[in-house]
Amino acid sequence: MSIVFQEIPLKTDAYYEQLVTLQGTLYVLTFIYSSYYGKWHMNLKTSTGTEIAMGIGLVPSYPMLLDYALEHHGITGAFWLLPITPESNSADNRPGSLQYALPDTTQDVRALATYYQLFYAYDDEEDG
């Protein structure tokens, strides 16, 4: 078993689409910031526009889409939004410490790309 982490670039725009190849197949990812809800959402479509998963809330450190049955679309992994924290090794910024907090993406549309990285993680042995 070998887990592959593929980084997906994030932008500071409130709405954008990008083409990404995941597990050898081309998809369209759409990222939308909702000021009403104060959060980011992601849509996943095939390259021809067929909707696969819509309105997925971007949640830090959570395996997004892992609980969806998407194997028939070629998706066997999960999306991970992980914080970029230069101080992550300091004693005050470790999970469980009283000072630990994930960067807030609800107030500033630029915060997502500034403080987080998005990865698609999958087991490459499932590819064949």
pTM: 0.82
Asked, for residue 103, whether it belongs to a domain, the answer is yes
Asked, for residue 30, whether it belongs to a domain, the answer is yes
Asked, for residue 60, whether it belongs to a domain, the answer is yes
Asked, for residue 128, whether it belongs to a domain, the answer is no
Residue written as tokens 């849509």? 43
Residue written as tokens 């997004």? 64
Asked, for residue 72, whether it belongs to a domain, the answer is yes
Report, as an integer, the average pLDDT of 70-93.
Answer: 78
Report, as an integer, the average pLDDT of 6-12.
Answer: 95
Report, as an integer, the average pLDDT of 109-128.
Answer: 84
Total domain count for the chain? Answer: 1
Radius of gyration from C-alpha coordinates of the chain: 15
Q: Which domain holds residue 91?
A: 3-123
For residue 127, how many other CB atoms are within 10 A of its CB?
11
Q: CA–CA separation, 53 vs 63, rounded Å?
A: 14
Q: Is the pLDDT of residue 1 over 90?
A: no
Compute φ and ψ for 16, nearest 5 degrees: -160, 155
Q: CA–CA separation, 80 vs 118, rounded Å?
A: 6
Give the lowest-confidence range in 31-35, 43-47, 107-111, 124-128: 124-128
